[in-house]
Amino acid sequence: MFKTGYISVVGKPNAGKSTLVNKLVGFKVAITTPKPQTTRFNIKGIITSDTSQMIFTDTPGVHIPKSKLGEYMMKGVDESIKCVDVVVYIVDASKPKIDLASENIMKNIVKTKSKVILVINKIDKIEKSKILSIIAEYNNYIQSINGTFNEIIPISIYKEDGLDILVKNIEKYLPEGEKIFSDDEITNITERELVEEIIREKALNNLEEEVPHGIKVEVEKFKKRKNSKKQSVYDIEVNIICERTSHKGIIIGKDGIMLKKIGTLARKEIENMLEDKVNLKLWVKVRKNWQENENYLKDIKNKY
C-alpha cells in the first residue's frame, strides 16, 4: 500500500524547521540562518520512497507581525495547517518556554483535523532528565485547550538522532494514494527563487543585526549561454532591495568589500546547485518601506 500526504512543519523562529526539511529531503530547499524570520514563504520539500511520498511545507517562524510582510508570513502559516494530513510542531528544547507565540501555534493546531506530532528538537543541548518535563508542560497545555498530540518525539537534527523514528511516524498517519510529484522532484521552488534565497541567506549571515530583515532579493536576469569555449555559463543579475540609504552603504561596505563577500559566497553555492559556471552581478537599491507596500509584496503574497 503506497501512501501520499502533506505535512506542515511549524514552530517558532530558530526551532529547526528549515534544517529538518533540508535534512529529510537531502537537499537544501530552504535557507537557514540563526536569525528570526529567515523563511518568508511556504517552501515544499518532497521525499519519495518505495512506500510513500511525503510533501513537506516549511513555514515562517511564528511571531507577532509588525508589518504587512509579517502579516502575510503569518497568514501563510495559518493556511499551511488547514488542509494537511500531519502537522509537525517543532519546539527548541533549549528554549522550551510556552509563550504567546507557542500558545497561538497550539490553538491553531487544535482547530484542524490533522494528526499532530510534537517534536522536541535540540535534545543534544539539554540534560535528558529535562525532556520529560518539557513534554509534560506541552501536553498539559494542549489538553487544557481540548487538544492532543498524536505522537511526541524527541530528536536532534544536528546529531541525526530520532529522524528515522519521526519519518516512520509521519508515514503511519498518511492516507493511501498515488504519487503527486515525479520521483526526481524534491521541491516546488524554481531555480530563480533558489538563487534569490541563497543570496538573501549570505546577506543575513554577514550583515549587521538591524539590516538583514529589511532586505529583499530580486533576480532581474537569469540566462544560460555558451561561452567561447563552448562551456555553459549562467548570466545572473540581481537586485538587493533595502529600506534605507544608510543600509545601502552597509550592504555595499567600504570599497564594496561586503557586497563582494556576499556575491562570492553566493556564487559558489549557486554554481554547485546549477552545476555550471555563474557570472553573478549584484546591485543594491533603496525602496523605502517596501515591507508595507502591496506592489513590492506581490511575489511573496502570491506564494501562499
167 and 221 inside one domain? no
Beta strand ranges found along 136-215 (DSSP E):
151-154
pLDDT, one tens digit per residue, over 101-123 is 899 889 989 988 899 999 999 99
| pTM: predicted TM-score of the whole model, two decimal places | 0.74
82 and 226 inside one domain? no
144 and 201 inside one domain? no
Averaged confidence pLDDT in the chain: 85
Q: Does the pLDDT value for residue 26 go beyond 60?
A: yes
8 Å CB contact between 141 and 89: no
| Residue 12's pLDDT band (cuts 50, 70, 90) | confident
Q: Does the pLDDT value for residue 40 go beyond 60?
A: no
pLDDT, one tens digit per residue, over 178-205 is 999 999 898 878 889 889 989 988 998 8
121 and 15 inside one domain? yes
16 and 164 inside one domain? yes
Q: Which of 143, 172, 201 is the last residue of a domain?
A: 172
Alpha-carbon gap, residue 45 to 54, rounded angstroms: 8
Greater model confidence, 137 or 18: 137
152 and 218 inside one domain? no
The DSSP 8-state label assigned to residue 83 in this structure reads S
- Is 181 among the domain residues? no
CATH no. for residue 33?
3.40.50.300
pLDDT, one tens digit per residue, over 119-152 is 999 999 999 999 999 999 999 999 999 999 999 9
126 and 206 inside one domain? no
| Residue 304's pLDDT band (cuts 50, 70, 90) | very low
118 and 205 inside one domain? no
Print the domain residue range for 259. Answer: 191-301
Q: Does the pLDDT value for residue 72 go beyond 50?
A: no
| Residue 67's pLDDT band (cuts 50, 70, 90) | low
Grid cell 509534560 is found at: 136
272's torsion region: left (phi>0), alpha (psi -120 to 50) or beta? alpha
The DSSP 8-state label assigned to residue 117 in this structure reads E
Cα 35 vs. chain centroid, distance in angstroms?
12
Angle at CA 66, nearest 5°, toward 13 and 301? 80
